[in-house]
Amino acid sequence: MAEPTRAGFVALIGEPNAGKSTLLNQMVGAKVSIVTHKVQTTRARIRGICMEGQAQIVFVDTPGLFRPRRRLDRAMVAAAWGGAADADLVVLLIEAHRGLTEGVKAVLETLRERLGGRKVALAINKIDKVRAESLLRLAEEMNAAFPFTRTFMISAEKGYGVADLRLWLASELPEAPWYYPEDQIADVPMRQIAAEITREKLTLRLHEELPYQLTVETENWEDRADGSTRIDQLIYVMRDGHKGIVLGHGGETIKSISQAARAEIAAFLGRPVHLFLQVKVRPNWLEEPERYTEIGLDFKDGN
């Protein structure tokens, strides 16, 4: 008898910077979600897909859970809980060196309220940053605070423990036909992945506050007969001063950002890429429904 196929959705939730995007990329084996040292960089629910035996695991990398202040923040948090509510399994990531923070306590309370009875696994991430005895104490403390189905000790960055987590998730998914072709690694339009790559380069390069005041949209995508691709993107900022920061002296900043983004997009696509970036000032882009649609969020969730 052939092993039955399994398929299902797994939501990765946690506080900002807990390592959800890094874990997603590690699971999938390719970079499908933005990773930076700054918090709150994942905005949309990015679906990464990986195969484990006869099981297809569809990961939903949700925005970090935090106390929202702006419309965009509220839409991001709503997307995170929406992703968890729609999933077959939920994995809560926490940072080993930070432990049971007030933010994690708030997440656990909401898990009880919204996802009672759902299987939730705990993944204690960044285990290389603490001693073994501290990890055991933290695991006991977390399991006393919430009835986790399983607890895993991992390092998403280095890959420690990731295979064990992936095997367990695969075994817990329901028997079902696969949702996607076996070789597909993401359920995100390439236009959006390209925009996320450029936004990552902007986030890494620019001033501490500015990345949360900008967004990137892929305006035009042209696959050419010579095997290359032309991509035109718009970077929306809120003030004239922000535009100057993005451009840099003599255009040096935008040039270096474009080079870095172009190289990564070309590597991802496996073909030459011609990337053209334009910076526009839109003071109210955070209040425009179409901007939210472009990054996979629901404008109404920001109310």
Query: Tens digit of pLDDT for each residue in 137-159?
Result: 999 999 999 999 999 999 999 99
Phi, psi of 175 (to 5 degrees): -65, 125
Whether residue 272 is predicted with pLDDT greater than 90 in this model: the reply is yes
- With bands split at pLDDT 50, 70 and 90, how would you rate the model's confidence at 78? low
DSSP state of 104: H
Identify the burial level of 65 via C-beta atoms within 10 angstroms of its C-beta, where 0-12 means exposed, 13-18 middle and 19 or more buried: buried
Give residue 42's pLDDT.
Answer: 46
DSSP labels for 14-82?
ESTTSSHHHHHHHHHTS--S---SSSS---S-EEEEEEETTEEEEEEEPPPP----SHHHHHHHHHHHH
Interval 25-36 mean pLDDT: 70
What is the percentage of the chain residues whose pLDDT exceeds 70?
77
- Residue-level pLDDT at 174: 93
pLDDT for 39: 42
Q: Is the pTM of this model over 0.95?
A: no
Q: What is the dihedral of CA 268, 269, 275, 277, to 10 degrees?
A: -60
Mean pLDDT in the chain? Answer: 82
The answer to whether residues 111 and 120 touch, using CB atoms and an 8 Å cutoff, is yes
Q: pLDDT at position 298, please?
A: 56
67-76, 202-211, 265-274, range with the lowest pLDDT:
67-76
Going by C-alpha positions, the residue among 56, 88, 268, 271 that lies closest to residue 183 is 56
Model confidence over 178-204: pLDDT tens digits?
988 887 777 677 888 888 889 888 988
Lowest model confidence (mean pLDDT) among 58-62, 174-178, 242-246: 58-62
Q: Is 140 exposed, middle or buried (0-12, 13-18, 19+ CB in 10 A)?
A: exposed
**Which amino acid appears at position 48 of this protein?**
G
Residue 41, pLDDT score:
46
Half-sphere exposure of 24 (CA within 13 A, CB side): 32
Count CB atoms within 10 A of the CB of residue 232.
15
Confidence label for 208 from pLDDT (cuts 50, 70 and 90): low
pLDDT at 80: 57
User: Which domains can be identified in the chain, with CATH numbers?
Assistant: 6-172 (3.40.50.300), 190-302 (3.30.300.20)
Cα dihedral 263, 268, 274, 277 in deg (nearest 10): -80
CA atoms of 15 and 17, how far apart (whole Å)? 6
Distance CA 292, CA 226 (A): 34
Helix (H) or strand (E) holding 114: helix 102-114
CA 66, CA 41: separation in Å to the nearest integer? 12
- Residue 51: predicted pLDDT: 92
User: pLDDT-based confidence at 84, cuts 50/70/90?
Assistant: low
- Among 112, 79, 98, smallest CA distance to 11 is for 79
Q: Say what angle helices 20-28 and 162-172 make with each other, to 10 degrees.
A: 80
Which of the residue ranges 111-115, 217-221, 253-257 would you say has the lowest mean pLDDT?
A: 111-115
Confidence (pLDDT) at 40: 44
Predicted confidence at residue 63, as pLDDT, reads 55
pLDDT at 165 over 60: yes
**What's the mean pLDDT in 14-42?**
70
User: Would you state the pLDDT for residue 36?
Assistant: 46
Rounded to an integer, what distance in angstroms lies between the CA atom of residue 209 and that of residue 250?
22
